[in-house]
Amino acid sequence: MAIPYPHFIASEKAAMDAGLLLPSQPSIILTQDDLKKIAAYKAVEYVESGMVIGLGTGSTAKHAVARIGELLRQGKLKDIVGIPTSRMTHEQALSVGIPLSDLDSHPVIDLAIDGADEVDPYLNLVKGRGGSLLREKMVEGACKKFLVIVDESKLVNYIGGTGLAMPVEVIQFCWKFTASKLQKLFQESGCEAKLRTFGEKKEPFVTDNGNYIIDLYFKASIGDLKVASDSILNLAGVVEHGMFLDMATTVIIAGELGLTVKNK
């Protein structure tokens, strides 16, 4: 996806801050990754010195992590402590100079910044297509403010509306049994449950916690999300699911018309 800059009127400063536009530059083409970067840079404006920050995982969150590291190097931010949501984010944060800790040492987090795979009109989310849903939910559930950064392609009318995966983390033991239970649970929504794999040999994807992921694909709405959540979590073998309900406090959306900020 590429968007001509002249239509991105509302975010000229954001585009400049993200290094995508020079003051004398009349126009550029913004890719989807550019939009993610603009949203991420806007979210980092909420970060203040002395904060404990939850650091998300994925293609959008990586821009926020990089920006926080840049501001630390410039001396514009000080005394930041980062709580990473994955091994990948842990490695990136260390590489850009962000001091790190964990929930044991910091059980209350000032602010978390992360992307999302879907955002519905009520700011409910699908997360975890990158495989880090459990740690993301633990960290982002401990924060005072949770900023979600997305491009407009992630907006849906209902959870599952993209037709893409809603992940469920499960233990490896008898995963087929668990997958069949999950699929049956949402059979009225046309659910198909698939083990997440990777590589040419289709090896099972293993999370940072040593678990598998069953991806659920829906053809229709699954109805009441809280009921769906409880039903999933009540299945033996399920560790966590990728629906983040009533957790986002602010969603920053980068799109063709600029930046939109939605608050809970």
What whole-number distance in Å separates Cα of residue 59 and Cα of residue 151? Answer: 11
Cβ-count burial of 221 within 10 angstroms (0-12 exposed, 13-18 middle, 19+ buried)?
A: middle
Let me know: does 149 contact 36? Beta carbons within 8 Å: yes
- Choice among 136, 140, 169, 240 that is catalytic: 136
What whole-number distance in Å separates Cα of residue 173 and Cα of residue 111? Answer: 36
Angle of helix 61-73 versus helix 32-44 axis, rounded to 10 = 50
Task: Write the CB contacts of 183 (distance below 8 Å, at least 6 apart in sequence).
Answer: 191, 192, 193, 216
H or E element, residue 185:
helix 175-185
Task: Write the CB contacts of 169 (distance below 8 Å, at least 6 apart in sequence).
Answer: 128, 133, 134, 207, 209, 211, 212, 213, 238, 239, 240, 241
Please give the single-letter amino acid code of residue 236. A
Cβ-count burial of 44 within 10 angstroms (0-12 exposed, 13-18 middle, 19+ buried)?
A: buried
H or E element, residue 122:
none
Please give the single-letter amino acid code of residue 60. T
Count of C-beta atoms within a 10 Å radius of residue 32: 16
Q: Does 203 participate in catalysis according to the annotation?
A: no
Quote the tokens at residue 43. 């979210």
Catalytic machinery residues: 136
